[in-house]
Chains A and B, each alone.
Chain A
């Protein structure tokens, strides 16, 4: 039961008690995928075609119960199509989607046990906040009093109680997002799908909402699948990061694993903070913060210097023509500052080179 989870909350939506509390802990180490217990979501040979173009190519993946998963990738990589197929707003060309072992890929969106939060929130502009949240209950024919009571509970969960009578146009972006969250959660989904939920917010609010999303996911203990193209967002939020490119999954795993040990050149470049260098006929990744300016090493010409506060980001071009970035501690750099055009020598530990598979 909930109480044993140790989360304090003012309200307890009924459906929360159905979830297994310990599932919350499973997702964090990424091993949940092997356990196959509780409400897990599995994609089997999932494919989406638009005419001749393939948006999603034969992907297989298991989303661990109660995990926060970020689908990460550049635009057009298939992450949104994947999300929309799970939601039921896009038909599945081939393959299936299993939630709790049953195939939901042919069901209408509302019967799947999923709920979607849309990119621009898609709040009904003619309904006030409470009626927006209560919309799905109204469609089910729940009477006014009961649905308002339930909507108020959800609004309390997202701290929007005092705005219940406002219209969406009278709310800020962050507030609209909370309402959209409440509207999605009132359907008691097993999986919440978020389509670039933070992209419409300003940077400050984005960080605040990101903490909020994480808190809600922990409290509810359901799967959140969050589509984003921001790797910092994915690293900050996710229990599992799924990097997609060209309609396939390039790499999936806990954020530290994906960032620290990228499998491919694409992942290394996309996740950022890495240099991809040719070495012994292959490619290796070297973290930018592992690169030093030293007496011996690879000669290069400094091309730019950016002061970033605690660190200084410099980039230099080697004789082979490769661009190498280094993130240097501020004090180390300013002991002997260099300016662009000067020759430098770059060094890193051989042991920190990480071989890439592709």
Chain B
């Protein structure tokens, strides 16, 4: 924020020949990287999404068949809806857990070394790969898995619970497990920057603990929540492997639609789906950013 102010106040540097060139040169490396690895691939996907395909070949073209098929198919809507459902439920759980964890770390742990230590503990699951973390749920949740066995041993159930694995439950469980940290980090980051005097001021003004949370901490944590939301929503909406493994290929989301198309070498169709997904996610983020200004967090 303050940079903007100082820029406005600082007198403009005298123009020297070559100033422009130096500036461009300084910006060039990043520009080139972004061009080569972000914009070019996206442009390629957009181009390919208009190409045509047969069972055994794809050919350059400019036609709307892929989009027409996509929007004409009832499956598309069902799968997009399922994707939104996963994103929303995962978001709700990661937010609840992430906010609680961040709150605990930021406000209940007084000593900074312990704060940092506990924070690192949160990241331990990330020392191993996503897939392994996901797959390790399978022996736990399976029909004869630890969870079912324990519940039967305790006499809480007679039959193994079928919905524990290869269901929406297991998919969402895995998502929450995988992505909660993406909520914890930005929220924690915002929370530790809240001036402790504000909490005292709230108490001085007669706010209870809950009132302080609702009227002071929550509003001031919004940018962190928003950044975490963007992480979780984009990760879940773009995911395909979690849904495939945890649902035993019985559930679908947009990512799996694309991955199936690619498996069948239907690149133009996959590209069209990818473009629609990209636009959908951009629209979601656009809507989110209307609500909260995250600029001061970046």
Interface residues of A (CB under 8 A from B): 87-89, 108-111, 115-116, 118-120, 122-126, 135-136, 138-140, 183-184, 187
Question: How near does chain B come to A149, taking the closest CB pair, in angstroms?
Answer: 18
If the complex has contacts A110-B206, A139-B205, A139-B206, are A124 and B216 also in contact, measured as CB distance less than 8 A?
yes
Q: Are A122 and B206 in touch, CB under 8 angstroms?
A: no
If the complex has contacts A120-B197, A125-B220, are A110 and B215 also in contact, measured as CB distance less than 8 A?
no
4 new A-B contacts, CB < 8 A, other than A110-B206, A116-B200, are A110-B203, A124-B198, A126-B220, A135-B205
- Complex-state Cα separation, A88 to B207, whole angstroms: 14
Q: Are B201 and A124 in touch, CB under 8 angstroms?
A: yes
Interface residues of B (CB under 8 A from A): 195, 197-198, 200-208, 211, 215-216, 219-220
Taking CB atoms, residues of chain B closer than 8 Å to A139 are: 202, 205-208, 211, 215
User: Could you pull out 15 A-B pairs where Cβ atoms are within 8 angstroms?
Assistant: A89-B200, A109-B200, A109-B203, A120-B195, A122-B198, A122-B201, A126-B219, A126-B220, A135-B205, A135-B215, A139-B205, A140-B206, A184-B204, A187-B204, A187-B206
- Complex-state Cα separation, A125 to B220, whole angstroms: 8
Residue of A at shortest CB range from B205? Answer: A136
Taking CB atoms, residues of chain B closer than 8 Å to A110 are: 203-207
Taking CB atoms, residues of chain A closer than 8 Å to B204 are: 87-89, 109-110, 115-116, 184, 187
Q: Are B220 and A183 in touch, CB under 8 angstroms?
A: no
The 6 A-B pairs of least Cβ separation, nearest first, read A110-B206, A136-B205, A122-B197, A122-B201, A126-B219, A139-B207
If the complex has contacts A110-B203, A139-B205, are A118 and B197 also in contact, measured as CB distance less than 8 A?
yes
Question: How near does chain A come to B147, taking the closest CB pair, in angstroms?
Answer: 43
The one of B203, B206, B216, B219 in contact with A89, judged by C-beta atoms closer than 8 angstroms, is: B203
Taking CB atoms, residues of chain B closer than 8 Å to A125 are: 198, 220
* Residue of B206, B216, B220 most packed against chain A (CB within 10 A): B206
If the complex has contacts A124-B216, A126-B219, A126-B220, are A135 and B202 also in contact, measured as CB distance less than 8 A?
yes
Taking CB atoms, residues of chain B closer than 8 Å to A126 are: 219-220
Taking CB atoms, residues of chain B closer than 8 Å to A108 are: 203
Taking CB atoms, residues of chain B closer than 8 Å to A123 are: 201
- Complex-state Cα separation, A187 to B203, whole angstroms: 12
Taking CB atoms, residues of chain A closer than 8 Å to B205 are: 110, 135-136, 139, 183, 187
Q: Are B200 and A122 in touch, CB under 8 angstroms?
A: yes
- Complex-state Cα separation, A157 to B198, whole angstroms: 23
Question: How near does chain A come to B200, taking the closest CB pair, in angstroms?
Answer: 5
Residue of A at shortest CB range from B207? Answer: A139
Q: Are B195 and A122 in touch, CB under 8 angstroms?
A: yes
Q: Are B197 and A136 in touch, CB under 8 angstroms?
A: no
- Complex-state Cα separation, A125 to B1, whole angstroms: 14
Taking CB atoms, residues of chain A closer than 8 Å to B208 are: 139
Residue of B at shortest CB range from A189? Answer: B204
- Complex-state Cα separation, A122 to B195, whole angstroms: 8
